[in-house]
Amino acid sequence: MQRVNAVLSGLGNIGSRFVGVLDRKREIIQSKYGLDVRLVAVADVGGAALDEDGLDLAHLAGLKGRSVAESVGKPGVSILQVLDAVKADIFFEATPVNLQTGEPGLSAIRAALRRRMHVVTPNKGPLALAYGELRDLARENGVQLRHSGAVFGGLPTVNIGQRDLVGATILRIEAQANLANSYILDKMGGGMVYREAVQAAQAQGCCAPDESLDVEGWDAVIKLVILANSVLGMDARIDDVAREGITHLTPDAVARVRAVGRVLKYVAMAEHQADGTYHLSVAPRELAPSHPLAALGPLSMGVVYTSDLYGTISAAITEEEPTPSASSLLRDMISIYS
Amino acid sequence: MQRVNAVLSGLGNIGSRFVGVLDRKREIIQSKYGLDVRLVAVADVGGAALDEDGLDLAHLAGLKGRSVAESVGKPGVSILQVLDAVKADIFFEATPVNLQTGEPGLSAIRAALRRRMHVVTPNKGPLALAYGELRDLARENGVQLRHSGAVFGGLPTVNIGQRDLVGATILRIEAQANLANSYILDKMGGGMVYREAVQAAQAQGCCAPDESLDVEGWDAVIKLVILANSVLGMDARIDDVAREGITHLTPDAVARVRAVGRVLKYVAMAEHQADGTYHLSVAPRELAPSHPLAALGPLSMGVVYTSDLYGTISAAITEEEPTPSASSLLRDMISIYS
């Protein structure tokens, strides 16, 4: 049995569910994978809690939004102080996405990598802003950086691209990467005008109160950048992606697509070019009904890999709540230690 | 650079394409994965060729059905004699499927495992007949047995189940596992009677001249047994699968399903039971149009995993020719040495 000391930053939707998964799956993690995982520190916005023997996971999973500082932790202690103080093997970064600065995730990930901890994060901010730097930092320190939850939640999007398309040249990646836009296009196809469709998506919960990151394409851009960097080995940045949003679409335009038997989807795409590079784009696209993305429900995420060796492989996930995304942290950890 | 000495049995659709893939991808196998793979022996129905420095892959890939015995090999030499004579690290078994005896694959796989070679095979015969024995034999000899091509060709069906659903309890596996039956049901839905639909499938090439293995469900049974044993850790045998074919279906029955907006698919299924076991079945099933298998084209293979941690994950492949299946041998080899 290998002892693994873990640190977690963030006890929101993903972090608290991940703690719950660690708690419920303790036995199988030990028996099947030979790991005795102890959460030796956790930090949230209010403070942090440390215990070198391992914190009580059930207690942490049940905090329901209250800070650890109110019970087992101390107020005002930051994750950077925690990372300085503890001796740990792996760091889980699950704070909210910040696309301007990547913080507080970016600094914490840097600190953990420098202290030779493996890092697992579903946080798109640091990855979109500093993928190359973090990848190099992990390499220099002999540790791994995993982020399968950052690209389509619980779907093993990155794993399929990295591990299953062995030896292949990927010719095209296409993805339904953004739930809000899928949902809005679907509703507009049913006759709603754009503004109504946005409100419907917000009411459904798949679109943020400020919809601009979704409808202007930024969310899809970020996921595509992470996918391109991790699977295609690129050093792509946000500016490298040709971006078209959905704000200019009219119900008439959407209806015309449907009328000719085609399906309008919001597609993130990487296309292999003759010179070996990839063209990256996000845009609404008309798909043939036989296209693997065409049949995806508006609340699914999916990816299609076309390669020279493995034909056309598609994969999709329906997540009714964030447990699959949270479980991707478990998947990444096991993958590091296997 | 790690030198890997390989032996291949079978130069049919899969074997010869695999040799071609090894040839075309030599550089990336060396540069990206650090493996110098030499095919030190190959056997087919006519005889065998050996060269400890590595056979000429381009020559072998271009034989187009002629035996190696006619050019670089010797007639009458069997794979068992080859495995006795050579010193090799990995054995690729790609002879035709034989569901009565598993031969010649079964004996060759046993011999290779006993000689401590890793084994990679897309051959369903030996796996369906002797999975438990071969798994144990590999374990006893400290080598790996991989067979991702045996379950839906180039689709990483087994990999997703084994590696990506980490820590999860799989609640249900559903698969479109048999192309012939999918195609026949599709054609019957379009108004063909059963016999016409079978002939159409045979003309298309997705159904064998003797259709009984497909239409009576045996092909799907075999794939489900291999999937259950490799992903669910079972020791299932062919008799453990409840089997219903499609020979009794009438166009009227198929049309009635379509008329009520549902989709008739031939589904292989494993369902988790309250006592922790799985119920295995293959049968035509009516699916809701939103079911991930419902939208699959009749010439695609696909699988849906429902688990307690990762929601509903589906994956599918369209193979227009056998290169993806052949490439699964490369995937499995890299996975063994990674």
Tens of pLDDT, residues A37-48: 999 999 999 999
Judged by a CB distance cut-off of 8 A, whether residue A34 touches chain B is no
pLDDT at B286: 96
Tell me the whole-structure pTM to 2 decimals: 0.95
pLDDT at A251: 87
User: Domain A2-154+323-337, what architecture?
Assistant: 3-Layer(aba) Sandwich (3.40)
Give the pLDDT confidence of A69-94 residue by residue, as tens digits: 999 999 999 999 999 999 999 999 99
| Topology adopted by domain B2-154+322-337 | Rossmann fold (3.40.50)
Picking from B28, B290, B317, the nearest residue to A312 by CB comes out as: B317
pLDDT at A320: 85
pLDDT at B297: 87
pLDDT at B226: 96
Q: Which residue has the tokens 């070996």?
A: A276
Residue A2 CB-density burial (10 A; 0-12 exposed, 13-18 middle, 19+ buried): exposed
Amino acid sitting at position A198: V
Rounded CA separation A270/A259 (Å): 28
Question: Taking the domains of chain B in order of start, what are their residue ranges?
Answer: 2-154+322-337, 158-318
The residues of B carrying an active-site annotation are 223
Query: Is a pLDDT exceeding 90 seen at residue A299?
Result: no
Give the pLDDT confidence of A143-191 residue by residue, as tens digits: 999 999 999 999 999 999 999 999 999 999 999 999 999 999 999 988 8
Give the pLDDT confidence of B57-79 residue by residue, as tens digits: 999 999 989 999 999 999 999 99
Rounded CA separation A18/A328 (Å): 9
Q: Which residues in chain B are contacts of A314 at CB distance < 8 A?
A: 315-317
pLDDT at B49: 98
Query: Is a pLDDT exceeding 90 seen at residue A298?
Result: no
Rounded CA separation B110/B133 (Å): 9
Q: What's the whole-number average pLDDT of chain A? A: 95
Query: Is a pLDDT exceeding 90 seen at residue A338?
Result: no
Close Cβ partners of A260 (under 8 Å, ≥ 6 residues apart): none
Judged by a CB distance cut-off of 8 A, whether residue B115 touches chain A is no
User: What part of A 279-338 touches B (C-beta under 8 Å)?
Assistant: 290, 292, 294-295, 297, 309-320, 323-324, 327, 330-331, 334-335
Alpha-helix runs per DSSP H in chain B: 13-24, 26-31, 57-61, 79-85, 105-114, 124-140, 157-159, 179-189, 194-204, 212-215, 218-231, 251-259, 323-337
pLDDT at B298: 84
| Topology adopted by domain B158-318 | Dihydrodipicolinate Reductase; domain 2 (3.30.360)
CA B45 to chain centre: 21
Give the pLDDT confidence of A9-25 residue by residue, as tens digits: 999 999 999 999 999 99
Q: Which residues in chain A are contacts of B151 at CB distance < 8 A?
A: none
- Mean of pLDDT values over A310-337: 95
User: What part of A 126-185 touches B (C-beta under 8 Å)?
Assistant: 154-156, 159-160, 163-168
Residue of A nearest to B17 (CA): A309
Structure tokens at A57: 């996971």
Verify whether the Cβ–Cβ distance A313 to B314 is below 8 Å. Answer: no
Q: Which residues in chain B are contacts of A325 at CB distance < 8 A?
A: none
For the beta carbon of residue A31, count every other beta carbon within 10 angstroms.
10
- Mean of pLDDT values over A106-111: 98
Residues in chain B, pLDDT under 50? none
pLDDT at B299: 85
Least confident of A44-53, A249-258, B326-335: A249-258
- Active-site residue flag, A223: yes
